[in-house]
């Protein structure tokens, strides 16, 4: 099949774009000017995280671009300042003798560092750590007691450093993991603790008063999903032996490209995406044709969906926006969803990412010549099939899998988000929907403690139990807590025991001392 191909290549950055997705350049000229102005406002330190809807605003600047700018447009924030902090963090990591390091954070505090370590060291990164004489690395993000317990059955807690990564320290998941770890350590747990946080935060105060062995600062204006260019990723990279300096330089160089009014790669891709979505709402599937990109889509999922999934425009109009992102690595995940993409409903476009140059040994293969060329055949074969089935795709090719090139890719994705948010007139840097969930979780926690305190001998439906223990809440919430109590009662502070049975389409509970 023949199609109109969009092509772009930047000789300096050695990055290429090819796509069958088109856009009307003339139509987007005004939008591009708005996006350039938005980028300039961000980089000038203006208050851009704001809308006329109070609940949709954090009313502060956004500084992730400043952290890698060659020019210091905002005092104390520049590429050179970031590299100075990186040197001090590297020295700290070098001086430690722990056998294990646990990184405790969620969202951007977890997804970015984990993606980088897996990208450069592979799935078996701890074998690499062991071979090169560095500590084993582990991540805790969720409050999953089974996973937490499994981890500390396998590693010596006394030989473990926990790095708590949280702007505030009040994030429920991270705070819970911190408290439990310190209880496991016992006395002098401060000698096994390190913090990455903002000055004056609850976590900063705790780490200072308890004399934790390391405190590394980040800025309040650095959002979690864009914090990969800050100390949030510096500390994990230092313990993993990764060259963060090349990563942030790659980001800086890409920012230079996407700051230009012409030949701007971020503008091109954003316009292609917006054109597709203006015709029909579609999902973006990210397929990385390298196992090094296994967690790239997961990182981008938060970046795009948390940034662009908004209800209001800047001036308070209700105009829901968003872009659903999922994906994985080719060819593995193709077996999960490519049948539907090729032959089913036309609800997605595909973003391929590949590295031009292979890092390690290639192996002979009779069908393709080499193993690497077999992967190339699958990539191009999938592209051909998409064209044949009149499906949309774009192909981004970077020179190689290196910290510098991954820095380029992440910086490009961040700029695309900024451009789309400018085109859609939304605030990409707050997350009120996430806050809604946190507040609701707090409500359930209070309910759980109230039920535990008031449990008494009774039986009946959930509504009858609620009446007996004087609880006024939504029955479905109470039912979930009662079910948890029945299966995990040894962790509740009560002598009451419980059971349930299923009758007439509902559970009946029996609680007895």
DSSP 54: G
Beta bridge partners of 506: 503
Annotated catalytic residue, options 33, 84, 94, 335? 335
Tokens representing 473?
């809440």
Look up 191 and say whether it is catalytic.
no
Tokens representing 508?
């009946």
Annotated catalytic residue, options 58, 306, 413, 414? 306
Q: How far is residue 418's CA from residue 424's CA, in Å, rounded to a whole number?
A: 10
Q: Are 197 and 208 in contact (CB under 8 A)?
A: no
Q: Are 330 and 289 in contact (CB under 8 A)?
A: yes
Tokens representing 18?
């090819």
Token pair 């074998």 in the structure block, residue: 127
Annotated catalytic residue, options 438, 446, 453, 467? 438
Q: Are 432 and 271 in contact (CB under 8 A)?
A: no
| C-alpha dist (Å) from residue 248 to 81, 118, 408 | 12, 17, 8
Token pair 């967690």 in the structure block, residue: 295
Within 13 Å, how many C-alpha atoms sit on residue 66's CB side? 21
DSSP-H helix ranges across 352-488: 371-388, 403-424, 432-454, 462-468, 475-487
Q: What burial letters (b/e) apply to 46-78, b meaning 16+ CB within 10 Å? A: eebbbbebeebbbebbbbbbbbbbeeeebeebb
Look up 71 and say whether it is catalytic.
no
Look up 306 and say whether it is catalytic.
yes
Q: How far is residue 445's CA from residue 438's CA, in Å, rounded to a whole number?
A: 11
Q: How far is residue 7's CA from residue 135's CA, in Å, rounded to a whole number?
A: 44
DSSP-H helix ranges across 210-280: 231-240, 244-257, 265-279
Mind telling me the catalytic residues? 306, 335, 438
């Amino acid at each position: 099949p023949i199609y109109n191909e969009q092509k772009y290549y930047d000789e300096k950055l050695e990055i290429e774009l090819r796509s069958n997705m088109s856009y009307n350049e003339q139509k987007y000229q005004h939008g591009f000017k708005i996006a350039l102005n938005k980028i300039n406002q961000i980089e000038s330190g203006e208050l851009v995280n704001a809308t006329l809807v109070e609940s949709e605003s954090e009313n502060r600047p956004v500084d992730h671009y400043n952290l890698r700018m060659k020019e210091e447009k905002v005092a104390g924030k520049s590429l050179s300042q970031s590299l100075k902090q990186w040197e001090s963090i590297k020295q700290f990591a070098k001086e430690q003798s722990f056998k294990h390091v646990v990184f405790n954070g969620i969202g951007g505090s977890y997804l970015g560092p984990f993606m980088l370590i897996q990208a450069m060291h592979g799935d078996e990164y701890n074998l690499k750590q062991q071979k090169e004489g560095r500590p084993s690395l582990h991540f805790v993000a969720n409050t999953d007691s089974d996973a937490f317990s499994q981890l500390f059955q396998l590693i010596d807690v006394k030989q473990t450093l926990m790095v708590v990564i949280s702007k505030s320290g009040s994030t429920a998941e991270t705070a819970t993991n911190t408290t439990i770890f310190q209880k496991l350590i016992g006395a002098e747990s401060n000698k096994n603790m390190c913090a990455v946080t903002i000055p004056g935060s609850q976590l900063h105060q705790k780490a200072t008063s308890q004399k934790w062995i390391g405190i590394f600062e980040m800025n309040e204006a650095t959002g979690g999903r864009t914090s990969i260019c800050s100390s949030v990723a510096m500390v994990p990279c230092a313990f993993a032996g990764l060259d963060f300096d090349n990563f942030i330089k790659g980001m800086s160089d890409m920012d230079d490209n996407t700051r230009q009014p012409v030949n701007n790669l971020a503008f091109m891709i954003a316009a292609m995406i917006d054109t597709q979505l203006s015709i029909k709402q579609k999902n973006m599937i990210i397929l990385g044709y390298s196992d090094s990109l296994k967690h790239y889509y997961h990182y981008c999922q938060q970046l795009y969906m948390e940034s662009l999934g908004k209800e209001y425009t800047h001036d308070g109009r209700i105009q829901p926006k968003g872009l659903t992102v999922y994906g994985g690595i080719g060819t593995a995940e193709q077996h999960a969803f490519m049948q539907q993409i090729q032959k089913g409903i036309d609800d997605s476009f595909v973003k391929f990412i590949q590295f031009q140059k292979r890092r390690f040994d290639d192996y002979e293969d009779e069908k393709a010549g080499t193993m690497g060329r077999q992967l190339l055949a699958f990539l191009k074969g999938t592209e051909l099939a998409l064209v044949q089935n009149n499906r949309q795709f774009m192909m981004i090719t970077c020179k190689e899998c290196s910290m510098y090139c991954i820095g380029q890719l992440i910086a490009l994705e961040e700029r695309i988000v900024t451009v789309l948010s400018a085109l859609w007139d939304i605030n990409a840097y707050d997350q009120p929907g996430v806050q809604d969930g946190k507040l609701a979780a707090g409500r359930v926690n209070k309910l759980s403690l109230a039920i535990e305190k008031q449990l008494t001998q009774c039986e009946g439906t959930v509504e009858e139990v609620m009446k007996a223990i004087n609880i006024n809440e939504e029955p479905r919430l109470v039912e979930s807590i009662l079910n948890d109590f029945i299966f995990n009662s040894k962790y509740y502070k009560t002598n009451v025991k419980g059971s349930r049975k299923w009758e007439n389409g509902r559970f009946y509970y029996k609680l007895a001392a």
